[in-house]
Chain A
Amino acid sequence: MKRSLIGRLWPNVTAVVLFLGFVFPVYWMFATAFKPTGDIVSENPVWFPTDVTFEHFRTAVDVDHFWTYVTNSLTVTVLAVVFSLIIALAGSFALARMRFRGRRHFIIVFMLAQMAPWEVMIIAMYMIVRDASMLNSLVPLTLFYTMMILPFTILTLRGFVAAVPKELEESAMVDGCTRRQAFRRVILPLLAPGLMSTSLFGFITAWNEFALVLVLNKDAEAQTLPLWLSRFQTQFGDDWGATMAASSLVSVPILILFVFLQRKAVSGLTAGAVKG
Chain B
Amino acid sequence: MTVQTERPPSGPADVRKADDGGPGGQKKRAASRAGALAPYLLLLPACVATVLLLGWPLLKDVLLSFQNLNMAQLIQHVTEWNGVDNYKETLTSEDFWRVTLRSIVFTAVNVVLIMVVGTLIGLLLARLGSRMRFTLMVGLVLAWAMPPVAATTVYQWLFAQRFGVVNWVLDKLGWHSMADYSWTSSQMSTFFVVILLIVWMSIPFVAISLYAATTTIPKELYEAASLDGAGAWRSFTTVTLPFLRPFLLATTFLEIIWVFKAFVQVFTFNGGGPDRLTEILPVYAYVEGVGNQHYGMGAAIAVLTILILLGLTAYYLRIVLKQEEDEL
A residues sitting closer than 8 Å to B (CB atoms) are: 11-12, 14-16, 18-23, 25-26, 28-29, 32, 40-42, 44-45, 86-88, 90-91, 93-100, 103-104, 106-125, 127-128, 143-144, 146-147, 150-151, 154-156, 158-160, 162-163, 166, 169-170, 173, 194, 197, 204, 207-208, 210-211, 215, 226, 229-230, 233, 240, 243-244, 246-248, 250-251, 254-255, 257-259, 262, 266, 269-270, 272-276
Specify which of A125, A146, A244 lies most central, judged by the most chain B CB atoms within 10 Å of its CB. A125
CB-contacts of B157-198 with A (<8 A): 157-158, 160, 162-163, 165, 168
Q: Does chain A have a CB within 8 A of B248?
A: no
Q: Does chain A have a CB within 8 A of B101?
A: no
By the criterion CB–CB under 8 Å, are A159 and B13 in contact?
A: yes
By the criterion CB–CB under 8 Å, are B168 and A104 in contact?
A: no
Q: Chain A residues near B235 (CB, 8 Å)?
A: none
B residues sitting closer than 8 Å to A (CB atoms) are: 1-17, 20-21, 23, 25-26, 28, 36, 38-40, 42-43, 45-47, 49-50, 53-54, 56-58, 60-61, 64, 121, 124, 127-129, 132-133, 135-151, 153-158, 160, 162-163, 165, 168, 200, 203-204, 208-209, 212-213, 215-216, 254, 257, 260-261, 263-264, 268, 281-282, 285-286, 289-290, 295, 298-299, 301-302, 305-306, 309-310, 313, 317, 320-321, 324-325, 328
In the bound assembly, the distance between CA atoms of A29 and B143 in angstroms comes to: 12
In the bound assembly, the distance between CA atoms of A109 and B43 in angstroms comes to: 12
Q: Chain B residues near A210 (CB, 8 Å)?
A: 149, 264
Q: Report the minimum CB–CB distance from A101 to chain B (whole Å).
A: 9
Q: Chain A residues near B290 (CB, 8 Å)?
A: 122-123, 215
Using A125-B57, A276-B20 as known contacts, list a sample of 19 further A-B pairs with CB atoms less than 8 Å apart, ordered by residue number in A.
A11-B128, A22-B139, A22-B140, A23-B138, A45-B165, A45-B168, A107-B9, A113-B50, A114-B257, A117-B282, A120-B285, A124-B57, A150-B49, A155-B11, A197-B12, A230-B149, A266-B208, A273-B212, A274-B215
By the criterion CB–CB under 8 Å, are B261 and A119 in contact?
A: yes
By the criterion CB–CB under 8 Å, are B43 and A117 in contact?
A: no
Q: Report the minimum CB–CB distance from A127 to chain B (whole Å).
A: 6
By the criterion CB–CB under 8 Å, are B64 and A162 in contact?
A: no
Q: Chain B residues near A143 (CB, 8 Å)?
A: 49, 53
5 closest residue pairs by CB, A with B: A276-B16, A159-B13, A159-B11, A120-B302, A272-B13
By the criterion CB–CB under 8 Å, are B39 and A166 in contact?
A: no
Q: Chain A residues near B156 (CB, 8 Å)?
A: 233
By the criterion CB–CB under 8 Å, are A115 and B212 in contact?
A: no
By the criterion CB–CB under 8 Å, are A150 and B12 in contact?
A: no
Cross-interface CB contact of A120 among B268, B298, B313, cutoff 8 Å:
B298
By the criterion CB–CB under 8 Å, are A100 and B146 in contact?
A: no
User: Which chain B residue shows the least CB distance to A118?
Assistant: B261
Cross-interface CB contact of B268 among A21, A42, A230, cutoff 8 Å:
A230
Q: Report the minimum CB–CB distance from A96 to chain B (whole Å).
A: 6
Q: Report the minimum CB–CB distance from A65 to chain B (whole Å).
A: 18
In the bound assembly, the distance between CA atoms of A93 and B44 in angstroms comes to: 12
User: Which chain B residue shows the least CB distance to A31?
Assistant: B165
Q: Chain B residues near A26 (CB, 8 Å)?
A: 142-143, 146, 154
By the criterion CB–CB under 8 Å, are B153 and A208 in contact?
A: no
Q: Chain A residues near B320 (CB, 8 Å)?
A: 107-108, 111
Specify which of A98, A230, A246 lies most central, judged by the most chain B CB atoms within 10 Å of its CB. A98
